[in-house]
């Protein structure tokens, strides 16, 4: 399922209703069959499809009358796809900060946040350049981006057609500095953002190897 978020149409479908039920707790085929008024075979077919999409996984067994029943739960990836109010909150937070801080101080605060996020992701011990770059890419993916790498003779470029902070960048382009600091800290090299903010934001980060 290639969706940035699970939309209303999905939640209105049988699979969407199943995902909603599984969000609360792990359930067996029998549980889902009873709550959705479906046959066991129909439930298994939907679960197979959701497993293939990476939204559902098996999570052990639960006791049954004659034999244990497999239980199913949502994957971490599925939890990330649920609509959240973070965009609205972050927009309001940046607006409040801009009303109280000068531009230089705001930029410094955003970069400090990016560095703190990177510190929370960094593993103890040394990592090679490739491992650090892959960590940066996986972090962007976790935030909702779709990064790809282009290697040149003197620099590496990370591009993403999907900006993970698109809902905020439109009003507050300074937020790109947060991502710049995050990537610089994770990669361990100088990173400069050259994002395209004409229309839907598209990410572009230029890395100059040490």
Go through 106-133 and write b for each residue having 16 or more CB atoms within 10 A of its CB, e for each that does not.
beebbbeebbebbeeeeeeeeeeeeebb
Q: How confident is the model at residue 1 (pLDDT cuts 50, 70, 90)?
A: very low
Question: What pLDDT is stored for residue 5 in this prediction?
Answer: 58
Identify the bridge partners of residue 156 per DSSP, sorted by sequence position.
151, 207
Output helix, strand, coil percentages for the chain, rounded to the nearest 5.
Answer: 55, 20, 30
pLDDT > 60? residue 54: yes
What are 194-208's pLDDT values in tens digits? 999 988 889 999 998
Residue with tokens 């889902």: 32
- Kindly tell me if the per-residue pLDDT of 185 is higher than 60: yes
Contact call for residues 174 and 90 (beta carbons, < 8 A):
no
Ranges of each domain in the chain: 8-81, 86-208
Q: What is the pLDDT of residue 31?
A: 94
- Sequence-distant (6+) residues with CB within 8 A of 97 are 106, 109
Confidence of residue 87 (pLDDT cuts 50, 70, 90): confident
> How far apart, in whole angstroms, are the C-alpha atoms of residue 19 and residue 53?
12
Q: What are phi and psi of 90, to 5 degrees?
A: -65, -40
The number of angstroms, rounded, from the C-alpha of 165 to the middle of its chain's C-alpha atoms is 11
Least confident of 4-8, 103-107, 146-150, 159-163: 4-8
Q: Give yes or no on whether 8-81 and 86-208 have one common fold.
A: no
pLDDT at res. 161? 84
The Cα 108–Cα 118 span in angstroms is: 15
Residue 123: DSSP 8-state: P
CB-based contact 207:155 (threshold 8 Å): yes
Q: What one-character-per-residue DSSP string does 99-152 give? A: HHS-HHHHHHHHHHHHHHHHHHHPPSS---HHHHHHHHHHHHHHHT--EEEEE-
Mean pLDDT of 83-110: 89
Average pLDDT of the chain, as a whole number? 87
Instruction: Confirm or reject CATH 3.20.20.370 for domain 86-208, answering yes or no.
Output: no
pLDDT tens digit string along 148-181?
999 877 889 999 988 888 888 988 999 999 999 9
Q: What is the DSSP letter of 202?
A: B
pTM beyond 0.75: the answer is no
Going by pLDDT thresholds of 50, 70 and 90, the confidence category of residue 42 is: very high
Tokens of 85: 């109010």
pLDDT at 117 over 70: yes
CATH number of 8-81: 1.10.10.10
């Amino acid at each position: 399922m290639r969706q940035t978020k699970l939309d209303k149409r999905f939640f209105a479908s049988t699979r969407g209703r199943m995902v909603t039920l599984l969000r609360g707790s792990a359930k067996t085929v029998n549980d889902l069959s009873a709550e959705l008024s479906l046959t066991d075979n129909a439930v298994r077919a939907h679960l197979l499809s959701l497993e293939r999409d990476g939204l559902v996984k098996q999570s052990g067994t639960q006791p049954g009358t004659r034999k244990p029943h497999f239980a199913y739960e949502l994957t971490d990836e599925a939890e990330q796809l649920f609509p959240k109010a973070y965009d609205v909150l972050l927009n309001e937070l940046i607006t409040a900060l801009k009303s109280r801080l000068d531009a230089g101080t705001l930029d410094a605060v955003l970069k400090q946040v990016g560095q703190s996020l990177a510190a929370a992701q960094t593993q103890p011990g040394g990592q090679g350049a490739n491992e650090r770059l892959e960590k940066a890419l996986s972090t962007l993916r976790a935030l909702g981006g779709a990064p790809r790498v282009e290697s040149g003779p003197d620099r590496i470029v990370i591009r993403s057609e999907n900006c993970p902070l698109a809902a905020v960048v439109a009003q507050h382009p300074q937020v790109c500095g947060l991502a710049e600091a995050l990537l610089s800290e994770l990669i361990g090299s100088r990173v400069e953002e050259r994002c395209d903010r004409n229309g839907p934001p598209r990410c572009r980060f230029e890395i100059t190897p040490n």
